[in-house]
Structure 1
Amino acid sequence: MTSAFSFPEAGLPERLGPPATLDAAQQDAADELINGPRRGVYGPFRPLLHRPPLLRAVAKVGEILRYEGTLDAALREWTICVVARDLSNVFEWDMHRPLAAAAGVPGAALAALDTGQPLPDDLRADLALARTVTSELIGQHRLSDATYSDALSQWGEPTTVELLTLVGYFAMVCWLMNVARTPGRLS
């Protein structure tokens, strides 16, 4: 489904894609992605191919968060969608919106996020709080005392740390792709 909001880089030519030819280190890093859980070189890994050590480190953090994390799938995918929307990133929105829906995030919540409308009143409390946490982190670079207290009450310290790290990770890759003009989901 096409987003209601435009993305500033959508349709512009990619300006920091993968290198035209890969040296041995770049090819090894690409092969690791192709043979790993991602099964390809796409999204932030296109520009990261220029720096294989960074690609490997970023990929590892992402794998831990997505494949070894403790957040329930709906919370994880919703939070990624919130980051993508708040940072106007077409790739992560296109990639994670269907994953969020499949994980049980209500379509009405995703539509509200997409159009900048208030969230549905009946949205799960943890998802509504994740929206607040993400927006405060991105907009204010910190959490208010009230939001921090709510996060600890909702999730406890370990899960709060994981959620904050998820937001930071996806903010980093969104910023990289926004600069690189990485295209949306590849067919």
Structure 2
Amino acid sequence: MSPNGSANAIPLFPEAGLSERLGPPNKLGADQQAAADELINGPRRGVYGPFRPLLHRPPLLRAVAKVGETLRYAGTVDDALREWTICVVAREVSNVFEWDMHLPLAEAAGVPAAALVAVERGTSLPDDLHSDLALARTVVAELISQHRLKEETYADALRTWGEAGTVELLTLVGYFAMVCWLMNVARTPGPACP
């Protein structure tokens, strides 16, 4: 993916390369260590991303982790749609961690590279993009910018995913917006960074 977008593109990742300002506590208390151990021994296999700042509040870390695990590992949204939606959210809120983490997962799930480039650059989607992916981008954009869905978008979501699928997708958007915002403030480094 090219980091060079158009002049009208969404700003690139402003926190990329900046020093982390809200990382994990220097010394972990017993509950913090227990929460860290739960992450290390769970499906994530480590303490990274939003869980670095969340270590300051172990009950929140556990609750956030459980929602994320449910969405990623027990959800009904197919892999391509889930990973695409996460990438779109990450780009809409300019979060380097989730973008870098989920871009290869989206590619592996079969999301077209041209669509990911369009999201990265903030340009129009390819005309031949599968309709559910295009709709998911509209859902994310409307939720992030308007905090709700237009009637037409909502009706399209129900036709495409049904009520349960729509609820899951809306929750996916909200969850990843929340953790992206937390990491943007914390300046959590991308997954390849220390």
| 1:117 to partner: Cα distance | 1.2
Q: Quote the residue 1:161 is aligned against.
A: 167
Q: Secondary structure at the match of 1:143?
A: coil
Q: Quote the residue 2:23 is aligned against.
A: 17
| 1:186 to partner: Cα distance | 2.9
1:95-106 aligned within 5 A: 95-106=101-112
Matched AA of 2:40: I
Taking only the aligned residue pairs, the percentage that are identical comes to 78
Matched AA of 1:162: E
Alignment equivalent of 1:175, drawn from 157, 178, 181: 181
Matched AA of 1:91: F
| 1:157 to partner: Cα distance | 0.2
Matched AA of 2:119: L
Q: Quote the residue 2:146 is aligned against.
A: 140
Q: Secondary structure at the match of 1:185?
A: coil
Q: Secondary structure at the match of 1:142?
A: coil
> CA RMSD, aligned part only?
1.0
| Residue 86 of structure 1 pairs with residue 71 of structure 2 | no
Q: Secondary structure at the match of 1:47?
A: helix
Q: Quote the residue 2:74 is aligned against.
A: 68
CA distance in 2: counterparts of 1:170 and 1:117, whole angstroms: 22
Mapped contact 2:2–2:117 kept (Cα < 8 A): no
Q: Residues 149 and 100 of structure 1: is their aligned pair in 2 closer, same or farther, counting only changes over 3 Å?
A: same
CA distance in 2: counterparts of 1:182 and 1:120, whole angstroms: 31
Q: Quote the residue 2:46 is aligned against.
A: 40
CA distance in 1: counterparts of 2:186 and 2:2, whole angstroms: 21
CA distance in 1: counterparts of 2:2 and 2:64, whole angstroms: 28
| 1:185 to partner: Cα distance | 1.3
Mapped contact 2:91–2:99 kept (Cα < 8 A): yes
- Please, which runs of 5 or more residues in structure 1 have no aligned partner? none
CA distance in 1: counterparts of 2:2 and 2:49, whole angstroms: 18
Matched AA of 1:138: I
Matched AA of 2:101: M
Alignment equivalent of 2:155, drawn from 149, 158, 163: 149
Matched AA of 2:46: G
CA distance in 1: counterparts of 2:48 and 2:16, whole angstroms: 16
| 1:110 to partner: Cα distance | 0.3
Q: Quote the residue 2:8 is aligned against.
A: none
Q: TM-score, normalised by structure 1?
A: 0.98
**Moved segments of 4+, more than 2 Å:** 1-6
Matched AA of 1:107: A
Q: Quote the residue 2:9 is aligned against.
A: none
Matched AA of 2:61: L
